[in-house]
């Protein structure tokens, strides 16, 4: 498939590399322009393009930028292109990176906010796995203990496309429901970045408590701060 990436950081860059290796036609873009991605594109077998051209080039478009950066994408980015499957891989980090986004703090889910900003439906996926697990832990279908990834979205067709992509990448695809259920795999939830198999992942999604979204996020941000402090202390 033709896959365009907006953002080539830890998740975006890792996914782009993996999909290019599987034979997909990959285009990558960021806010600094194609020239800044020339070396990475050459290394992984992708094409460096502008953000606008990444949207035009892909049957699937992966948005993998900090949540706050979504608001800075070109207005009408998706307005004049045919229907696309748009994947949001982001996680909202108000204290560590994004600053406060009032609509999300008042209860809007981060992916619903992203969809509102870009004026296009999104599918939530790949936000609840560590980047290093993507290339290292994928295995063929049917392998015992295969790690599962959940996918949320309102379009059954778009979601089916992403579920197939998850399987191609070596993970068990789990349909987690519509986009309004995406809070179940948001930052710090029981299903977040735990490399669970399908049975355990479904259980973790079910066990999540919507009233604790802010607590889950705060707990994960605290864990990240401790990790950063430890790494800094080690030099």
pLDDT per residue of the chain (235 residues) written in tens, 0 to 9: 999 999 999 999 999 999 999 999 999 999 999 999 999 999 999 999 999 999 998 899 999 999 999 999 999 999 988 889 999 999 999 999 999 999 999 999 999 999 999 999 999 999 999 999 999 999 999 999 999 999 999 999 999 999 999 999 999 999 999 999 999 999 999 999 999 999 999 999 999 999 999 999 999 999 999 999 998 998 7
Q: Please tell me the predicted confidence (pLDDT) of residue 45.
A: 96
Whether this prediction's pTM lies above 0.75 is answered by yes
CA distance 190 to 201: 9
| Alpha carbon distances (Å) from 28 to 38, 57, 174, 180, 217 | 9, 10, 27, 29, 29
In tens, the pLDDT along 81-137 reads: 888 999 999 999 999 999 999 999 999 999 999 999 999 999 999 999 999 999 999
CA distance 61 to 115: 13
Spatial neighbors of 235 by CB under 8 A, at least 6 apart, are none
Tokens encoding 161: 């496309």
Tokens encoding 80: 């004049």
CA distance 49 to 47: 6
- Of the candidates 62, 63, 16, 64, the one whose C-alpha atom is nearest the C-alpha of residue 43 is 16
Tokens encoding 142: 């049917």
């Amino acid at each position: 498939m033709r896959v365009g990436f907006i953002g080539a950081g830890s998740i975006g860059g890792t996914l782009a590399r993996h999909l290019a290796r599987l034979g997909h036609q990959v285009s990558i873009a960021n806010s600094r322009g194609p020239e800044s991605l020339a070396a990475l594109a050459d290394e992984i077998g992708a094409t460096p393009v502008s953000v606008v051209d990444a949207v035009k080039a892909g049957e699937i478009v992966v948005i993998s930028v900090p949540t706050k950066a979504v608001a800075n994408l070109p207005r009408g980015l998706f307005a004049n292109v045919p229907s696309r499957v748009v994947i949001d891989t982001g996680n909202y980090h108000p204290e560590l990176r994004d600053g406060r986004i009032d609509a999300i703090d008042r209860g809007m889910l981060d992916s619903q906010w992203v969809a509102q900003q870009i004026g296009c439906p999104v599918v939530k996926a790949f936000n609840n796995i560590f980047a290093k697990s993507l290339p290292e832990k994928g295995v063929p279908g049917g392998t015992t203990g295969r790690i599962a990834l959940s996918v949320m979205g309102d379009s059954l067709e778009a979601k089916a496309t992403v579920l197939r992509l998850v399987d191609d990448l070596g993970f068990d695809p789990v349909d987690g429901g519509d986009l309004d259920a995406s809070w179940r795999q948001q930052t710090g939830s029981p299903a977040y970045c735990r490399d669970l198999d399908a049975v355990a992942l479904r259980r973790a999604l079910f066990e999540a408590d919507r009233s604790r979204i802010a607590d889950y996020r705060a707990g994960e941000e605290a864990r990240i701060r401790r990790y950063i402090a430890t790494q800094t202390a080690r030099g």
